[in-house]
Amino acid sequence: MTAMLPKGAAMPIALNVNGEDRITLSDPLTPLVDVLRDALFLTGAKAVCREGICGACTVMMDGKPVMSCLVPVGIAAGHDIRTAEALSGEGEPSPLQRAMLDHDVVQCGMCFPGMMVTLTDFLEHTPEPTREEIKAALVGNICRCTGYERLIDAVLAFAHRD
Ligand code: FES
Ligand code: FES
């Protein structure tokens, strides 16, 4: 007979986050965003809607953007997880982040780490996007305070910086 864990019981779960092996003691059903924030202190991903709608919790899993509020940490085990914290090197903004700063894009910042994960992935696949393509790429990332026009201007400036 297989031993069953009581519902909600914590167990050691091995994760690879931003290239580092990490062990967390968690209920496997805990949303990945909560483990990233509360156990690993990677607070870039934000739990805002918790319904897969706003995109504030976006991280990369095996090279694809996922809503980490919808991914149980037990499912994330053994996969390559990259968070917004991995986007800048040595504490310096990445060139895309620099373009955002130059265009004064961020207000409260709740949406922004998720935006940056989505845009970084998008620009890898679409290095010279049109305004319409950028809008389409951001359909799953909601910004409630700054809006999108300056953000799109920043992405275009980054993409056509040479
Ligand atoms: S918190 Fe995950 S999509 Fe909104
Ligand atoms: S900067 Fe506040 S939600 Fe986007």
- Domains belonging to the chain, first-starting first, are 11-87 (3.10.20.30), 95-159 (1.10.150.120)
Q: Give the pairing of strands 11-17 and 80-82.
A: parallel
Rounded-to-integer distance, Cα 46 and Cα 66, Å: 13
Q: What is the mean pLDDT of each run of 10 residues along the chain (162 residues)?
A: 67 97 96 98 97 98 97 97 90 90 92 96 96 97 92 95 78
- The answer to whether 141 and 48 have CB atoms below 8 angstroms apart is no
* Token pair of 31 as six digits: 């949303």
**CB of 72 closer than 6 angstroms to any ligand 2 atom:** no
**Closest residue to atom 4 of ligand 2, CA basis:** 143
**Closest residue to atom 3 of ligand 1, CA basis:** 52
CA of 78 to the centre of ligand 2 (A): 32
Q: Which pLDDT score, from 0 to 100, does residue 32 have?
A: 98
* Token pair of 80 as six digits: 């390559």
Rounded-to-integer distance, Cα 34 and Cα 13, Å: 14
Site to substitute for ligand 2 among 112, 115, 117, most atoms within 8 A of C-beta: 112
State the pTM of this model.
0.92
Q: What are phi and psi of 125, to 5 degrees?
A: -95, -25
